[in-house]
Amino acid sequence: MKVGMYYNNRDVRVEQMPIPEIGPGELLMEVKASGICGSDIMEWYRIQKAPLVLGHEVTGDVAEVGEAVTDYQVGDRIFVTHHVPCNTCHYCLRGHHTACETLHTTSFYPGGFAQYIRVPEINIDRGTLRLPDDVSYEDGSFIEPLGTVVHGQRNAGIGAGDSVLVLGCGIAGLLHIKLARALGAGRIMATDLDDYRMAAARKFGANSVADAREDIPEFVRQANEGRLADKVIVCTGAVAALQQALESVDRGGVVLFFAVPKPGETVAVDFNRFWRDDVSFMPSYAAAPLDNATALELISSGRVVVNDMITHRLSLDEIGEGFRLASEADHCLKVIIQPND
């Protein structure tokens, strides 16, 4: 079968691998859609394990089932997530599924930028969902990224009437804007450096948008009736954005660190103001099974529309171009790879 083998962001090669053999409790999925995630092009992170087959935002058809698999059959349309928790450890039982050690060690094989993937038993049990007839493979590939956004906003307590500032309008930031709007947030503000992404933020629900090089706290005050933001969501690893987040959160507010800088990059923080003003800091990583199920319901119901964020659809033979487009981010939001088209 064909795979997209990642060496670096400028070198993703179409290579051949054997179709994975499955065990009794596993299934084989024919991949129909696989999205390029912002983390896939996080070169400093990915290159440590290169060469490898990336891709974790996947949907497809069940192509083969192991003899012990009873819940799925050949031809079922499914979504599968790569990281799943054990559901029994100290962290899972306390509701911190994304801190589970099992979640950090599980995956399907070899990766979503392949024609077929082997889905282990644990991923079938708590990481696989049937796609309703009204959810396309493309839309279903957004379940995992939207699930991570659901996880972050649930932890941050974003809800009706909140004023929300999103720093960084890549696909994650845009999903945060869409979900905050669906949850009934009040005024939504957003920043980015790119005109195309700023226009996308306006299109997808932001009331006010500013260039990230502006005075962002002042922009927030002017857009939000003199107040800073109740909830600030950091969707870029730029250190300057983290500093802006700390300066833009209102009393009693929350800063959600959905993205973080590279290892070793730090921000000096005077905690005195946050101590007095009852401000909370909330990091967010990945998604729990409930978050993905919620994301599927949001997509299926139409409460969060995702198809309008797809700017490029490419075959597996074009994956190098897909990584170039995603890395350069020039008039590009979401690239979907279709390995079997």
Task: Give the pLDDT confidence of 224-253 residue by residue, as tens digits.
Answer: 999 999 999 999 999 999 999 999 999 999
User: pLDDT tens across 132-144, in order?
Assistant: 999 999 999 999 9
Give the mean model confidence (pLDDT) for residues 299-327: 98
Averaged pLDDT for residues 209-238: 98
Question: Is the separation of the CB atoms in 76 and 61 below 8 Å?
Answer: yes
End-to-end, the C-alpha distance of the chain in Å comes to 13
Whole-prediction pTM: 0.97
Query: Band of the pLDDT at 284, cuts 50, 70, 90?
Result: very high
pLDDT of residue 267: 87
If 0-12 CB within 10 Å is exposed, 13-18 middle and 19+ buried, where does residue 330 land? exposed
| Each residue's pLDDT tens digit, 14-69 | 999 999 999 999 999 999 999 999 999 989 889 999 999 999 999 999 999 999 99
Asked which of 164-173, 217-226, 264-273, 320-329 is least confident by mean pLDDT, the reply is 264-273
pLDDT the model gives residue 44: 86
Q: Mean pLDDT lowest for which of 113-117, 159-163, 207-211, 269-273?
A: 269-273
Q: Please count the other Cβ atoms lying within 10 Å of the Cβ belonging to residue 272.
A: 8
| Domains delineated in the chain | 2-142+306-338 (3.90.180.10), 151-283 (3.40.50.720)
% of the chain with per-residue pLDDT over 90: 95
DSSP string, 113-171: SBSEEEE-HHHHHHHEEEPPTTS-HHHHTTHHHHHHHHHHHHHHT--TT--EEEE--SH
**Residues 166 and 245: beta-carbon distance below 8 Å:** no
At residue 341, does pLDDT exceed 90?
A: no
